[in-house]
């Protein structure tokens, strides 16, 4: 078994209807592919219909699964309600929401216009709220059990310079995950989140590591395991968290980053750079101080 292989048994998501925001590219597309392989029916939704349709065609060919596309901007609540109604009338129900759509780019915060700041916050925080509220109302009114999975980041709790709107918005999404995990548990709606470290995608890399920043800041070097993530490992985790296998997991955020954020956090983690043969000398120096 390798981490690049699927983990769950083939019928793990049989007949579950999953709405994936931002499912036409990057990680959303990779997760959707695995959900289809596990028997789910997917609705991929985002702004660019052409991109969604081309992804749907590719995913259908690869998996033979059922896939529905719908163009919308998650910032627009009315559009989100229309999307929900369209998916329900297409599939008859919705069981799972994956809030994956996001906007982000690097910038010194003082360079941002008010509109630039709002664009990111509105896509990430308001968009996630819009989808969660519109689907939540439907589930609660119809007494349907459901699962919501939110994609956040490790800087949801540490914060991060140069991506401040994203950090603020993702922190809000994490707060919503934990809050509704408690409030809507009585309706049998579960909430969890995944905090990925670096998983190369065109959408993220074009905006976070433009030009030669890719080579200058090799993200694999920031990870104790010395590699970036493989999409299938994230898809495995996401499929588990939306499946019934994780029925007792509620309000959790699972980090999948090879230890990256902890490397930056631990006070003495810089000692990784001390060569092995220097430790005898260091130990002797410390012991000598005792006398």
Positions annotated as catalytic residues are 155
Candidate list 12, 13, 20, 28; residue touching ligand NAP; CB under 6 A: 28
Candidate list 20, 22, 165, 241; residue touching ligand NAP; CB under 6 A: 22
Tokens of 192: 């969890």
Q: Residue 117 or 187: which CB sits closer to ligand HXC?
A: 117
Q: Residue 198 or 258: which CB sits closer to ligand HXC?
A: 198
Stretch that binds ligand NAP, among 32-40, 183-191, 194-202, 274-282 (CB under 6 A): 194-202
Binding partner of residue 48 among ligand HXC, ligand NAP, none, CB under 5 to 8 Å per kind? ligand NAP
Q: Does 203 bind ligand HXC (CB under 6 A)?
A: yes
Q: Does 180 bind ligand HXC (CB under 6 A)?
A: no
Q: Residue 41 or 231: which CB sits closer to ligand NAP?
A: 231
In DSSP notation, the chain reads --TTS--S-TTTTTT-EEEEETTTSHHHHHHHHHHHHTT-EEEEEES-HHHHHHHHHHHHHHH---EEEEE--TT-HHHHHHHHHHHHHHHS---EEEE---------GGG--HHHHHHHHIIIIIHHHHHHHHHHHHHHHTT--EEEEEE--THHHH--TT-HHHHHHHHHHHHHHHHHHHHTGGGTEEEEEEEE-----HHHHHHHSTTTHHHHT-GGGGSTTSSPPPHHHHHHHHHHHHSGGGTT--S-EEEESTTHHHHHHSTTGGGGGS-GGGHHHHHHHHHHHH-
Stretch that binds ligand NAP, among 7-15, 25-33, 34-42, 265-273 (CB under 6 A): 25-33
Nearest-approach distance from CB 205 to ligand NAP, in angstroms: 8
The Cα–Cα gap between 185 and 249 comes to 11
Q: Residue 172 or 198: which CB sits closer to ligand NAP?
A: 198
Nearest-approach distance from CB 263 to ligand HXC, in angstroms: 14
| 52-91 positions binding ligand NAP, by CB under 6 A | 73-75
Binding partner of residue 25 among ligand NAP, ligand HXC, none, CB under 5 to 8 Å per kind? ligand NAP
Q: Residue 70 or 184: which CB sits closer to ligand NAP?
A: 70
Nearest-approach distance from CB 225 to ligand NAP, in angstroms: 15
Q: Does 157 bind ligand HXC (CB under 6 A)?
A: no
The dihedrals phi and psi of 205, each to the nearest 5 degrees, come to: -65, -35
Q: Residue 107 or 188: which CB sits closer to ligand HXC?
A: 107
Residue showing the smallest CB distance to ligand NAP in the complex? 203
Tokens of 169: 């918005």
The Cα–Cα gap between 21 and 29 comes to 10
The dihedrals phi and psi of 97, each to the nearest 5 degrees, come to: -120, 125
The answer to whether 149 and 193 have CB atoms below 8 angstroms apart is yes
What is the binding site for ligand HXC (CB under 6 A)? 102-105, 107, 112-113, 115-116, 119-120, 153, 166, 198, 203-204, 207-208
What is the binding site for ligand NAP (CB under 6 A)? 21-22, 24-28, 46-48, 51, 73-75, 100-104, 123, 127, 151, 153, 196, 198-199, 201, 203-204
């Amino acid at each position: 078994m390798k981490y690049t292989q699927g983990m769950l048994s083939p019928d793990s998501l049989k007949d579950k209807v999953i709405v994936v925001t931002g499912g036409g590219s990057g990680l959303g597309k990779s997760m959707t592919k695995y959900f289809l392989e596990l028997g789910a029916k997917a609705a991929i939704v985002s702004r660019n219909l052409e991109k969604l349709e081309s992804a749907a065609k590719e995913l259908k060919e690869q998996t033979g699964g059922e896939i529905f596309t719908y163009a919308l901007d998650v910032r627009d609540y009315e559009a989100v309600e229309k999307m929900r109604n369209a998916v329900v009338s297409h599939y008859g129900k919705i069981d799972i929401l994956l809030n994956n759509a996001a906007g982000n780019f690097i910038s010194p915060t003082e360079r941002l216009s008010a509109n630039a700041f709002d664009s990111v916050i509105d896509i990430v925080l308001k968009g996630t709220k819009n989808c969660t509220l519109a689907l939540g109302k439907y589930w609660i009114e119809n007494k349907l059990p459901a699962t919501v999975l939110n994609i956040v980041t490790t800087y949801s709790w540490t914060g991060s310079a140069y991506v401040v709107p994203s950090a603020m918005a993702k922190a809000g999404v994490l707060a919503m995950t934990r809050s509704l995990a408690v409030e809507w548990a009585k309706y049998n709606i579960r909430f969890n989140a995944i905090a990925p470290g670096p998983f190369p995608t065109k959408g993220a890399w074009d905006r976070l590591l433009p030009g030669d920043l890719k080579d200058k800041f090799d993200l694999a070097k920031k990870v104790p395991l010395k590699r970036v993530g493989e999409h299938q490992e994230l898809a495995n985790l996401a499929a588990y968290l939306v499946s019934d296998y994780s029925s007792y997991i509620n309000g959790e955020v699972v980090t999948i980053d090879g230890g990256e954020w902890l490397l930056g956090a631990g006070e003495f983690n810089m000692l990784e750079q001390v060569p092995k043969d220097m430790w005898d000398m260091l130990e002797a120096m410390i012991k000598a101080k005792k006398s």
